[in-house]
Structure formats: structure tokens, C-alpha cells
Homo-oligomer: A and B are copies of this chain.
Amino acid sequence: MSLFRRLGRFVFGRSMSNQQLGEEKLNVFWGMPILSSDSISSVAYAVEEILLVLVPVIGMASFIWMPRIALAIIALMLILVFSYRHVVDAYPNGGGAYVVAKENLGTIYSLIAGASLSVDYVLTVAVSIAAATAAITSAFPALFSHRVGISLVIIFLLAVGNLRGIRESARVFSLPTYAFILTIVILVGSGLVRYLNGGPAIIPATMTPSAGTGLGAISFFLVVRAFASGCSAVTGVEAVSNAVPNFQAPAARQAKTVYLWLAVAIVICFGGVALLAFLYHIVPDPRQTVITQLTLAVFGPGAMLYLLATTTALILALAANTAYSGFPTLLSVIAQDGFVPRQLSLRGHRLNFNNGIVLLSLAAALLIIVFQADTHLLISLYAVGVFTSFTLSQAGMVLHWRKERSKGWVLKGLINGLGAVTTGVAVTVIGITKFTEGAWIVLVVVPVIIAIMMRIKNHYLSVAEQLDISNDTLARIDLRTTHTHHVIVPIDSINAMVIKALRYARSLTPHVEAFHVEVYEGESDKLLRKWAMLDTDIPLIVKYSPYREVVNLLTQYIDSEEHASQPGDIITVLLPQFFVSHRWEMALHNNTSLFIANAMLKKRNVVVSIIPFYLEDLKVYRFSKNNKPLVQ
């Protein structure tokens, strides 16, 4: 085993057989943190996003509207969770919005959902890692100039961790999620106790209420925009329904339980932070996040501040892991339909979807480099994709209920319809208000991805049409052929390897020809003399090429009338090629045969055969005065 392979095994772990697939699957306890860190981590910025829209316009009046909007978002989240629990029931093989849209709305809608979700997964990785890096660099400002490098290292570590396999990833990544939930619960609990005991909030020096400048009137558009901004709290809900096949049996029930846990976690964390921000009248500050301000107000500066900063940074980095679980699974589902390369549906040697993991890492790394790990620029691209897929999924579910008409279908359809309308409004609002900030990129990229997907599907359909054989035809096939075989052996000189090839060719058919290209005039004289000594009836064809090219001459010769083949005859080009034990030794030779093999396969409808000749390892020679070897 080579050093390289050993290293690969050390980093990625041993190969696993297909039987081990069951062992690799998730249960609720490990599955909840791995698939919901994206949703839960958005608590770190969702309340702030709402206040950032409201406070500059309506000032302290924001604290009348913010709780209502937070409640609306919690309501939307519950609608989504319960709707997706139905999706899991209806589509236990995963696929989420893609499958729902495909089954109920049609191909083009499923491609919109698939492309939107793919873009969203890549952005989840980029945004979360940029935000985690920002958390690190605000703790250690000296690292700020290395933020792109730090982000890329985190992506690399996530990729390696995920290439090792599903369950191990879950274990590595589950504890920080629970730690984050726990610290938020402690923060909310302590903050409530302190408030109810009437203890005054600790207002640090940096907090100067600047909210009084907001003088604008409340408007429907403002509320909707604040609502849309806060909707970042519900991104990632899709992940669980996409990943149903990753759960232990009974997979659907486990996934539905995860949704319940997720709903509880978000209600407590998001609702709790929103409540505290309302009670303490927190005003967004560019230098300190809402969570940091709350921690300072409840605990003052100290250990709790650093603990929350750490768990926030960790869960943001780990939110990216949601995408590492969801994206490859989604791609494998789309790959089975033939809209993305089939290789994306193949499991790697650790039973995960290696190709999808690598693709996701590269795309996210590209975004990090292009946007220089700037969270604010990336976040503008973020929500369009999510809400597009939400809308399609909900709309698809409405049609699903209408088609199925199972018990309570009207109510379910109404709930899904409400979700579709709400998320549809949200995606429109986000698309318009954030268009110039970067949403346009998504609106360009998604159609391009869809076009590529259709091109790929077209290719697979075209290939299948040309290769497939119906059962009727199959039964009538006769494998016998009456065509003549011709074998052409391109040679450079006469040596043991060529003799082996000629012998092989001769045993196949009487129609064998040797073919030589003369590069310098007279260069082939020696070959012709030796050929005469061989005393064979195999003709040696010599062609002169002043331009030192072989492939074209060979093609021309095969096509020419000079060659005795009839249309329909089978022509095999037999190439002798020697192989040596070290790769550097191969570089010492022209390896013309391998070159001809490649070129011939692309040029002409002939069979290309390579007959190998294995050379043994080096013997050690001593050199005399005139380069004559003295064997040791």
C-alpha cells in the first residue's frame, strides 16, 4: 500500500461495505443537532434582523411591533414544521421540496426547487462559516486579515469530517448545538428571573439609546420587510425532510420526532431571545450583537459573555454541517432522475456521497474567496433560495391534498395554502428589497443551473435512446457475424514485444499487417532488413511522414483503398506497449502506443487493443569507457 493511500485511510477512515450502511444511520438524539443546527443558529441573528429593519424607521415603537412579528414567525415556523411532518409522511424517501414539486407540480417546478435548494445549501455553508469566522475575529482582532484563510480551513475540516462518514460527523457536531441551546436557555431564564425580581438592567457604557431618531410611520411594507428579515430564523427547516433516508428505521417517525424537538428548541430560543429583547428594550448596535447586549444586561461582563461568544461561533460553524448532510443527499435524489451527473448518486468508500461533499466545499470556498468572507454581503443572497423552495413545496402539498382527499384534507390544504402564500409574499419582498444587494445573483444563477440540469437530462435521454434494446429485439439478436477481421500492428522496430504482438494478431486472423511510419528518409532500412530475416507473410507497410505524425497516417491508411478491408469488416489496431515498475521510468519513453490508442479511439470506428509487455526491475550496470555496460 502506497504512502498516499495509507495517508488517505488515516484521514478518511477504512472502506466500509454496503452492509454497514444500517449502522451509519442517525437516531433522534444525534440527528436533531446535525440537521437543525442551521435553524437553531439563526437565533444568533434573527431578532437583530427584525430590529435592524424597524428601529431606524419607527424608533421605540419597534418594541410594540417586534413581538408581534416574532409571534408571526413562530406561527410560520410551526406551520412549516407541521407541513414538513406531513411531507415526511407522504415522501419517506427524502427529497423535500424537490420531490414534492416533482410529484405535484411537474418537472420544471422541481428543477426550480432543486436549483434553489442547491444554491441555498452552498450559501448556508458560506454564510455560517463567514459568521463563525467573524465571531472568532471579533474575539481576536489580530486574525481579521486572515479571515478568508480561517474560513477556508473551517470548510476543509468540515469536508474531511463529512468524508469520514455520517454518524461520526453527528457525534462530533452534536455537543456544541446542545451547548448553545443550553446557554441560551440559561440566558433567557436568568433574564426573566432578573426582570421579574425588578432588578434593573445593567446598562454598559457602550449602550447609548439612539432609537429616538426613528420618526417614520409604520407601514404594511415595513412590517412585511421586518417579517421577511426575521424569516432567517426558519431557514434550514427543509433539511430534515431532505435527509429522511439517513435516519434509522422507522426513518419517517424519527424524522417527525426531530421536527417536534426542533420546533420546541426554536420556540424557546428564538421566542426567548425576542422576549428578552422586548423586556430589556435592546437597540441594535453595529459593534455588539443583540445576544451580546442581552448577556451584558443580565450578567455583566464576565465568563458568561465568553461562553456565549464561543458557543455562538461553534454553532454557526456547525450550521454549515447541516448543508454537508443535506446537499449531497438532495443531489443524489436529483441524480437518480438524471438531472445532475449520475456519479453524485454513488456512495464513497465510507458510504457517504463523496462527490457532493467535495462539490459543496469547492462552491462554498469560491463564495468565501469572492466575497472575502463578508457575512453581510453573503446574507443578502441567502433567503431567496430558501423561500422559493418553501413556496414550491407548500404549493405542491396543496395539490397533493386535493388529489389525495384523505381525512381532513381541506384543513391541511388550507394550512399549506397559507404557508405558500406567506412564503410567496416573503420571497417576493426579499427579491425586490434585496435585489440590488445581491439577490439578483441568485436570480441569475438559478436559471443557469436549471438550464444545465436540462442539458444533462437531455444527454442521458439521448444516450439511453441510442443504447437501449427492447426485450423483443433482444430475443431476435444473433451474435454470429460473417465479417472479416483485419489486425494492424503499428511498430517502431522489431523486438520481443513486437513479436509477442504479431503472434497474438496472427492467432486471431490471417489478415495481419504491420505498419511503420518513417520519420527520416532511410530510417526504416534497418527495420526492413530485419523484417526480411523474420521471413513472414505478414506485410510491413512503411509510410513516410516528414511532419513526424503517426495517427493521421494510420487513419489515412485505414481509410484508403490500399487497405484491403471491405465496408463492415472489423478492424483492430493492436498496440504493443511495455510497462515498467516505476512511474518515472514510463516518463523516459514516448509511449507512442498509449498516445495512438487514445487518438484512434476518438478518430475511427476501430477496436483498439493494447498488448502489454512487462519489463523487470533494473539490473545494476557498471559503465566502461565507451558506455558499454559490464553486467555486475
Instruction: Please list the residues of chain A having a beta carbon within 8 angstroms of any beta carbon in chain B.
Output: 15, 17-19, 102, 106-108, 337-338, 341-343, 346-347, 349, 454-463, 465-469, 471, 474-475, 477, 479-481, 483, 485, 494-497, 499, 502-504, 506-508, 519-521, 530, 533-536, 538, 546-548, 570, 572, 577-580, 585, 587-590, 597, 601-602, 605-621, 623-627, 629
Other than the given A457-B621, A608-B610, 19 more pairs (CB < 8 A) read A18-B521, A108-B623, A338-B627, A343-B590, A349-B548, A459-B580, A459-B618, A462-B616, A462-B619, A462-B621, A468-B496, A474-B494, A477-B534, A479-B499, A479-B503, A479-B538, A481-B503, A504-B607, A597-B610
B618 and A462 form a contact (CB under 8 A): yes
**Can you list 23 residue pairs at the A/B interface with Cβ under 8 Å?**
A17-B547, A18-B519, A107-B623, A107-B627, A341-B587, A342-B590, A459-B588, A462-B621, A463-B578, A463-B580, A467-B613, A469-B494, A474-B530, A474-B534, A475-B535, A477-B534, A479-B499, A479-B506, A504-B607, A507-B570, A606-B612, A607-B612, A608-B609
B612 and A609 form a contact (CB under 8 A): no
Note all chain B residues with C-beta closer than 8 A to A623.
107-108, 454, 457
| Shortest CB distance A252–B (Å) | 22
Given A479-B502, A506-B481, A602 and B588 contact (CB-CB distance below 8 Å): no
Bound-state CA distance A606–B538 (Å) is 23
Bound-state CA distance A577–B19 (Å) is 30
B460 and A588 form a contact (CB under 8 A): yes
Given A481-B506, A588-B342, A619-B462, A626 and B547 contact (CB-CB distance below 8 Å): no
Query: B106, B468, B507, B521: which contacts A495 (Cβ < 8 A)?
Result: B468
A341 and B625 form a contact (CB under 8 A): no
A349 and B547 form a contact (CB under 8 A): yes
Question: In the complex, what residue of chain B is closest to A531 when comparing beta carbons?
Answer: B474
Bound-state CA distance A623–B112 (Å) is 14
| Shortest CB distance A350–B (Å) | 11
B533 and A507 form a contact (CB under 8 A): no
B618 and A610 form a contact (CB under 8 A): no
| Shortest CB distance A472–B (Å) | 9
Bound-state CA distance A378–B629 (Å) is 38
B616 and A466 form a contact (CB under 8 A): yes
Given A483-B507, A485-B507, A607 and B601 contact (CB-CB distance below 8 Å): no
A601 and B605 form a contact (CB under 8 A): no
B605 and A612 form a contact (CB under 8 A): yes
Note all chain B residues with C-beta closer than 8 A to A477.
499, 534
B462 and A533 form a contact (CB under 8 A): no
Query: B107, B343, B597, B625: which contacts A106 (Cβ < 8 A)?
Result: B625
Note all chain B residues with C-beta closer than 8 A to A619.
458, 461-462, 465
Note all chain B residues with C-beta closer than 8 A to A610.
597, 601, 607-609
Bound-state CA distance A459–B494 (Å) is 19
Bound-state CA distance A161–B411 (Å) is 78
Note all chain B residues with C-beta closer than 8 A to A621.
457-458, 461-462
Note all chain B residues with C-beta closer than 8 A to A626.
102, 106-107
| Shortest CB distance A61–B (Å) | 49
Question: In the complex, what residue of chain B is closest to A111 when comparing beta carbons?
Answer: B623
Note all chain B residues with C-beta closer than 8 A to A538.
479
Bound-state CA distance A580–B597 (Å) is 17
The 7 closest A-B pairs by CB, nearest first: A17-B546, A467-B495, A609-B609, A106-B625, A107-B623, A18-B546, A474-B533
Bound-state CA distance A609–B487 (Å) is 12
| Shortest CB distance A455–B (Å) | 8
Question: In the complex, what residue of chain B is closest to A506 when comparing beta carbons?
Answer: B479
Bound-state CA distance A359–B41 (Å) is 54
Most buried by B among A475, A520, A547, A625: A625
A458 and B19 form a contact (CB under 8 A): no
Note all chain B residues with C-beta closer than 8 A to A534.
474-475, 477
Note all chain B residues with C-beta closer than 8 A to A520.
18
Note all chain B residues with C-beta closer than 8 A to A496.
466-469
Question: In the complex, what residue of chain B is closest to A347 when comparing beta carbons?
Answer: B548
Note all chain B residues with C-beta closer than 8 A to A612.
601, 605-608
B462 and A485 form a contact (CB under 8 A): no
A536 and B479 form a contact (CB under 8 A): yes
A467 and B578 form a contact (CB under 8 A): yes
Bound-state CA distance A615–B461 (Å) is 12
Question: In the complex, what residue of chain B is closest to A625 when comparing beta carbons?
Answer: B106
Note all chain B residues with C-beta closer than 8 A to A346.
548, 590
